[in-house]
Every structure is written in structure tokens, then in C-alpha cells.
Amino acid sequence: MTRPGRLTRRRLAASALLAPGAAAAERLEVPPGMREQGAPLDATSYGLPAPTEQGVRRRSRPGREYQPILGTAGSIVTPLGDLDGIVTPNGLHFIRCHAGIPAIAPEQHRLLVHGLVERPLVFSMDQLRRFPTVSRLHFLECSGNSPLYRTARIRPDWTAQDTHGLLSCAEWTGLRLADLLAEVGVRPEARWMLAEGADAAGMTRSIPVAKALDDAMLCWAQNGEALRPEQGYPLRLFLPGYEGNTNVKWLRRLKLAAEPFMTREETSRYTGLLPDGTARQFNFTMHVKSVITRPSGGQSMGAPGFREISGIAWSGFGAIRRVEVSVDGGATWRDAALQDPVLPKCLTRFRLPWQWDGQPALLASRATDETGAVQPSREALLAEVGEWFTYHYNAILAWKVTENGTVQLAV
């Protein structure tokens, strides 16, 4: 595969010293940790990050801290500006809940599959876990990620966590939904499938049977271990590339039917209001998108000199083919290097070497996916769907490097 913009040794040499501040020295102080035995291994607890990393946490987005009307509904977002690579640790995976997190004992949990099927069946977790399994690395993005449609609400101090943190990526393991549906026998007239969660919201969405028979999974594991409670433990639907809420958590019921069910979450919510007053419904697949995470909002540049520009790109339609980066607000673009592996419907890490001269700059990224779709400008997106569309915001985003080296959201 072509890797435009790959960092070569020659390119690096041309960019002079990478760490201009490194001190010439032959001696190091012996640190306190070498003078006495360290902490013993803890064989009973689940491991946690270093105490000095406590700032790297999920949190509410600005203005969403208190939602009395919604009760236990809400979301907390992944600290993308602090993360490297493409895997999100489970303890930092974003959460979006409609009625809080139910506590479910796996041995009590059941999945009913019924409706337009030959053999309606109820499955226990033990029965589901005997199916052939599959593991895949996929991103998951809330359809409401990037609340940037309404210009008046945008604040320059927003970070990548605020603008893009309803996005995470993990290795998901479970069974192919197609295998389960083969067991119950889908009738030819079935075109839609209701998925219902066992939370107090009774979260329900209608999914096309074509997607269910394609790459849909019923998952019990993320990043190797059991699903976290807030991710649907012990079972969730996983629809690669589809908007987050359709990946129904605490999955208890699948019902096959000829028509969509027009549930609350696909009528009053998760539809896109267009300028002409009509709504775009069943807008499932997340569009091609990218964001620079280093440097990004809230970070400081430090001394002028070499800085790698690094970020993530993704598309619900397949693999990322190209990411371009601009340091002048879109006047000129350069191809970034894509970090292997580049996987379909998965985050792809991109990087571009940059000599920062200490002057103000406007950093932006523009992704292209394997279907040829290119991330639109903000102007083009707003011209198409208007500022009340709410969901699926995927426009090019810019971070402003200011004179004093701080980084701010410039949209």
C-alpha cells in the first residue's frame, strides 16, 4: 500500500535536531526509586493507571454537566487529546446511557429472538458463547459526537475530548449475528429487526436485516475481557460503522419484521432535522471524519522546533485511504503517513512531521475513505444539512496555534 508522507530518515535529517533542548551530560542523579525496594505486586486488584495520570479521565462535555430532566441519561467522553495509537482502554471508553447502567447477572440474562422467524428461541449467555466467535477492531461513535453545528455555542477552549470524545475504539469479540439468525430461520418477508436493551429506557432501534446478515455481531468482550457494565454487560449488539445508539447494550430481544418499528429513539431522537422542516431518518452509517489530537485544544506547544502532528481518522463505510494535513488553515495540504494496520471501520492513526517556527498556525486534517468520500468543509456541511441537524457532524476541524503557543478550537 502507498504510504504518502511516510517519515524518512532523510526527511528527518533535513529537519535538523528533533530534541533541541536535550542536555549534554555524562552523569545522572540516582533517583530515590533506586535506593529502596519498590511497591510489591498486587495479585488481588484490577490494575489502575499511575496516580500522576489522574487528569486522564472521562468527563461530561461542557454545558452537559447537569441534566435534571434526563435523570440518569447522559454521556461522558474519552480524553482523545491524551491518548496515542488507536486502542481506547476500557476504563476510558466513552459512555452514553439513556437510563443509567443496569446491574445484570450473566447467568440470569436471556436473549429472545422472535417475530418473522421459523423457530423463535431464547438463548442463555452459555448458549450464545458456544457459537463460533469473531474478534474485530472497530471504532464506536455516538451520532451526536462533535456538537459543532450551532456556531453560537462553540467555545474556543474546547478540547478534542469535548469536540470528538464520544468516540472510542476497541477489539470486540462475540458471535456473528448471521449465525444466530440462521439458527432461528429468518422468513423471506423480514426486512427489519428490532433490537431491545434490558435497561430502564427499554432502548430500542430498528435495524435493516441486510446489516444484521452482513457484519453485525453480538458481543460479550471488549479488548479481550468481558464488556464493561456501561458497555452493555453481558451482551450488546455491535454494528460496525453504524451510529453508537444502534449498537444496543444489555441486549435482550431481537424481533424480525417487514417494516421498521418507529420507536421513540428513531422518531423523536436520532433523526436529522433538515432546513426544509423534514427529517432524515435511519441515517445509520457514520461518515468519513478525522481530528488532530496532538497538538489539540488546551495543549501547549512548548519551544519552537520539531513537532509531530498526529491524529485519528475513521469512516463507517470502510477503511481510511488518505489523510491530508494543513498548517495554514487549508490553503495548502500535505499527505500524512497512515500507521499500520489500516483496518475497515476502525480508527487509523495519522502523523505528519512539522517544523514549528513559533508563529501562529491553523492546523486541520481532511480524511478520505475507501469509497472516495472526502471529509467536507464546515461551510459545505452546513449548506447541506443546516445548523439544526444535530447528528453526524463530520466537517474538517481546525486548531489554532496562538502567538503564546497555546492551542484553541478554531472550527
Pick from 1, 10, 41, 276: which binds a copy of itself (CB under 8 A)? 41
Minimum distance from residue 386 beta carbon to a copy of itself (Å) = 30
Q: Quick one: 90 or 285, whose CB is closer to a copy of itself?
A: 90
With H, G, I as helix, E, B as strand and everything else as coil, classify residue 25. coil
Pick from 1, 22, 69, 152: which binds a copy of itself (CB under 8 A)? 22
Interface of this chain with a copy of itself, residues 257 to 286, rule: CB under 8 A: none
CA 294, CA 314: separation in Å to the nearest integer? 17
Question: Burial, 360: exposed, middle or buried (Cβ in 10 Å; 0-12, 13-18, 19+)?
Answer: exposed
Q: Residues in contact with a copy of itself, total (CB under 8 A)?
A: 131
Q: Does 317 bind a copy of itself (CB under 8 A)?
A: no
**Amino acid identity, residue 355?**
Q
User: 362-387 burial, b for 16+ CB within 10 Å, e for fewer?
Assistant: ebbbbbbbeeebbbbebeebbeebee
Q: Quick one: 245 or 283, whose CB is closer to a copy of itself?
A: 245
Q: Does 230 bind a copy of itself (CB under 8 A)?
A: yes
CA 92, CA 49: separation in Å to the nearest integer? 11
Minimum distance from residue 352 beta carbon to a copy of itself (Å) = 10
- Give just the sign of the alpha carbon dihedral 88, 92, 96, 102: positive
Site string for a copy of itself, 184-203 (x = CB under 8 A): --------------xxx-x-
Q: How many CB atoms lie within 10 A of CB 297?
A: 24
Q: How many CB atoms lie within 10 A of CB 202?
A: 15
Q: Does 104 bind a copy of itself (CB under 8 A)?
A: yes
Instruction: Choose among 80, 107, 76, 106: nearest CA to 230.
Output: 76
Residue span binding a copy of itself (CB under 8 A) among the ranges 45-53, 271-279, 316-324, 358-366: 45-53
Residue span binding a copy of itself (CB under 8 A) among the ranges 22-30, 357-365, 375-383, 384-392: 22-30
Interface of this chain with a copy of itself, residues 124 to 153, rule: CB under 8 A: 124, 126-128, 130-137
Residue span binding a copy of itself (CB under 8 A) among the ranges 56-64, 260-268, 390-398, 399-407: 56-64
C-alpha cell belonging to residue 74: 447522559
**Following DSSP, what letter does each residue of 116-137 receive, concatenated?**
SBSS-EEEEHHHHTTS-EEEEE
Q: Quick one: 232 or 260, whose CB is closer to a copy of itself?
A: 232
Pick from 147, 311, 318, 353: which binds a copy of itself (CB under 8 A)? 353
Site string for a copy of itself, 362-401 (x = CB under 8 A): ----------------------------------------
DSSP secondary structure code for residue 81 in this structure: G
Question: Burial, 403: exposed, middle or buried (Cβ in 10 Å; 0-12, 13-18, 19+)?
Answer: exposed
Q: Quick one: 236 or 349, whose CB is closer to a copy of itself?
A: 349
Q: Quick one: 67 or 151, whose CB is closer to a copy of itself?
A: 67
